[in-house]
Amino acid sequence: MIVPFTRILRRCAVKGLGVLPIFCRKDMKQSQYFIPTLREVPSDAEIRSHQFLLRAGFIRQVAAGVYTYLPLAKRVLNKVEGIVREELEAIGSNELLMPALQPKELWDQTGRWDVYGGELVRLKDRHNRDFALGPTHEEVITEVVKDYLNSYKKLPLNVFQIQTKFRDEARPRFGLMRGREFIMKDAYTFHATEESLDEAYHNFVKAYTNIFTRCGLHFRMVEADSGQIGGSQSAEFMALAEVGEDTIVYSTTGNFAANSEVVDLPVGAPSPDGNGEIAHAKGIEVGHVFKLGTKYSEAMNANFLDENQKKQSLIMGCYGIGISRVLMAALEQNNDDNGMIWPKAIAPFDVHVVAVDMKKADQAEAAEKLYADLKMAGYSVLFDDRKERPGVKFSDADLIGLPIRITVGRGVSEGTVELKVRSTGETLDVNLSEIAQVVKDKYSEAK
């Protein structure tokens, strides 16, 4: 994560940006940063991650299941999206962006306008034409690619987008966990053969495993119900958490794991793979991979000519990740009584520099210098330069939960600051002359 300084300089010089690395210029002083913390948590926030997101000024509700992502949450989303982009580009997926607004005619082609039900947000334009706000994009993407994909020579094709989805959920709840407007990564693949689809499916499983591991999630891949959408094989990625809405049925010693929607096996039953017995756990579905087959291409007449010039339906796969739900799940797994504990890969900032008393010239100066030096070294830094009581600053810092906190207080008269590792609570006094090295060590140790 720490990009060598020389490379940054070179990059900036190439871009004609002068020699100051771009992120060093970012000014993230808390006095100027929009973090509307709350002292009182709204009573409808039932779970910890939701309570902390509201209290720490990460999100604000606009309507049931509809939220503003405030600057800190936006930074986490950017990180998650960055990881998703890297891993999907590594398997050859092309990023594009489709519209949220989708005409009814597209949904009529697959019959989903009539069967999707109340979750589909429907609206009319000024000419009284029907539209939906996309809950998913199988119809749009198939329409977009079908003329181009007229020959086996152009297959396979792998595309993804990161986009806002709309679903008028019957029970929006738990903040970002089940929103009516939420951010999803959805990917679609198109193939000439089942083997090619198998390969893509396998690549997505690998990419998802990398993504959720990098996001610091404790998760499990489970067999899922391919039920309503049709298709032959599907798996879900479940972040393990007590508050999860899904039940995972798994073998204590074997590899078997499935959503309880697929199999109904009681705790203690022998596992179907003949290995160990069944246990149950709760999970939050953060991702889903799905072999769609030809359901959409047949309905929408999306065909290609195979090697024998024979017309065939495109074979499809689709793959989703709930980006905003990942943020929530990561937080649900990483917190304590004092607040959030962000895994470093998705933390809004790497380091929190807290100046205890900005009115004291030596503290203010040392804090400013540390802030500048750490940015120069490649960290993203939030600098608490507010004129607040120390108690308020410390509790806000714990609440926001950045991986490393450095407190610049009275110790600076002797040349020391205090470093705290949020995840372990480890606290140590560090000489300012050694702080760069200690931050480096502690940051690399942090989860």
Are 302 and 296 spatial neighbours (Cβ–Cβ below 8 Å)?
Answer: yes
Looking at the Cβ atoms of 66 and 123, the one nearer to ligand ATP is 66
Whichever of 50 and 178 has its CB closer to ligand ATP, that residue is: 178
Q: Which of residues 255-314 bind ligand ATP (CB under 6 A)?
A: 285-288
What is the closest distance, in whole angstroms, from the C-beta atom of residue 243 to ligand ATP in the complex?
13
The Cα–Cα gap between 352 and 394 comes to 10
Which of 134, 156, 175, 322 binds ligand ATP (CB under 6 A)? It is 322
CA distance 295 to 197: 14
Asked whether 223 and 259 are in contact (CB, 8 A), the reply is yes
We find the least distance from the C-beta atom of residue 357 to ligand ATP, in angstroms, to be: 42
Residue among 259, 208, 152 nearest 200 (CA): 208
Instruction: Mark the segment that binds Mg ion (CB under 5 A) among 14-22, 112-120, 285-293, 322-330.
Output: 285-293
Site for ligand ATP, residues 323 to 352, rule: CB under 6 A: 324-325
179 binds ligand ATP (CB under 6 A): yes
Q: How far apart are CA 133 and CA 98, in angstroms?
A: 11
Based on the number of CB atoms within 10 Å of its own CB, is 16 exposed (0-12), middle (13-18) or buried (19 or more)?
Answer: exposed
Tell me if 387 sits within 8 A of 358, measured CB to CB: yes
Structure tokens at 29: 């002083």
| Partner whose binding site includes residue 368, from Mg ion, ligand ATP, none (CB under 5 to 8 Å by kind) | none
Contacts of 268 (CB under 8 A, 6+ apart): 277, 278
Question: Which range binds Mg ion by CB under 5 A, 9-17, 214-222, 283-291, 339-347?
Answer: 283-291
Q: Tell me whether residue 82 or residue 227 sits nearer to ligand ATP (CB atom).
A: 227
Least gap, CB of 298 to ligand ATP (angstroms): 20
> Of 259 and 363, which has the nearer Cβ to Mg ion?
259
> Whole-number minimum distance, CB 2 to ligand ATP, in Å?
31
Contact between residue 235 and residue 366 where contact means Cβ atoms under 8 Å apart: no
* Residue number with the smallest Cβ distance to ligand ATP: 322
Are 322 and 286 in contact by the 8 Å Cβ rule? The answer is yes
Residues 61-100 that bind ligand ATP (CB under 6 A): none
Q: Which does 102 bind (CB under 5 to 8 A by kind): Mg ion, ligand ATP, none?
A: none
Residue 286 interface partner, choices Mg ion, ligand ATP, none, CB cut-off 5-8 Å depending on type: ligand ATP
Least CB distance to ligand ATP at residue 427 (A) = 37
- DSSP class of residue 101 equals E
Length of the chain (residues) = 447
Number of Cβ atoms within 10 Å of the Cβ of 376: 16
The item of ligand ATP, Mg ion, none sharing an interface with residue 178, based on CB under 5 to 8 Å by kind, is ligand ATP
**Residue 169 in the binding site for ligand ATP (CB under 6 A):** yes
Using the rule CB under 5 A, which residue among 112, 180, 288, 352 binds Mg ion?
288
By CB under 6 A, the count of residues binding ligand ATP is 15
- Assign residue 425 a region: left if phi > 0, alpha if psi is -120 to 50, beta otherwise? left
Contacting ligand ATP within 404-443 (CB under 6 A): none
Minimum gap (Å) between residue 325 Cβ and ligand ATP: 4
Phi, psi of 362 (to 5 degrees): -65, -35
Measured CA to CA, the distance from residue 259 to residue 255 in angstroms comes to: 13
What, of Mg ion, ligand ATP, none, does residue 322 touch, CB below 5 to 8 Å by kind? ligand ATP
Distance, in Å, from the CA atom of 72 to the CA atom of 39, rounded to the nearest integer, reads 17
**Residues in contact with ligand ATP by the rule CB under 6 A:** 136, 167, 169, 178-179, 182, 184, 285-288, 320, 322, 324-325
